[in-house]
Amino acid sequence: MVCELIAAAAATAPYSLLDNTISDLGATTCTTIAYPYGDVPVCSPLHPLVNGAFIVFGLLLAIGAVLLRGWLPKGAAATTSVGLWVITGLSSVATGLVPLDQDLDLHSLVALPAFVAQSLALLVIAYVLRHRRGVSGSALVAGAVSLVGLVAFLARTGSAELGGLFERLAFWPGYLWLPVLAVVVLCERRVPCAGRRSV
């Protein structure tokens, strides 16, 4: 998210956080992207930062999800949540490896799983951690916002307006919630935290 904002500030083609997609910042050339709703100029000098962030984040997410399985309660729901996080991570990696200016159709195909899987992962893990009201409640809120963003983004694929806003609503809640989960897990595994059972 931070890398995205830095790259957006450095973009030399007109760029709007409300209208432009995140992937516009990963374009490796200064060109025009032929979206269904029209041509969009892109030029992102810091595209290696954005694509690298997609890849590193995705790898860390997938690995972290697998390691998280031992901390989660037993059951199919927990396993499902881990699988959804892994799919999200691998989709992010693929998104970084296939910039949209190289192959728009393939880029869209590999990016789509992250949209769907992350929203579902947040909602499923909220259910899995329902005995921990704080972390579960925050996951539920993040998942609900993410799902609204996903539906709105997909519904407006034929329009250039607010696509960036809805895409960020789909992704940013998960980006902000994951550190919360990381703190809870690390707190319990390494440092005794007062009142941790109520988190």
**Those residues with Cβ within 8 angstroms of residue 35's Cβ, 6 or more apart along the chain or in another chain:** 104, 160
- pLDDT tens-digit map of 132-183: 888 999 999 999 999 999 999 888 776 778 888 999 999 999 999 999 898 8
What is the percent of the chain with per-residue pLDDT over 90, rounded to a whole number?
75
Q: Look at residue 93 and tell me if it is in a domain.
A: yes
Residue 79: domain span: 51-198
Q: Look at residue 36 and tell me if it is in a domain.
A: no
Split into its structural domains, the chain has a count of 1
The average pLDDT across 106-125 equals 95
Give the span between the Cα atoms of 129 and 144, in whole angstroms.
Answer: 16
- pLDDT tens-digit map of 47-87: 999 999 999 999 999 999 999 998 999 999 999 999 999 99
Give the span between the Cα atoms of 182 and 180, in whole angstroms.
Answer: 5
pTM score, whole prediction: 0.88
Q: Look at residue 46 and tell me if it is in a domain.
A: no
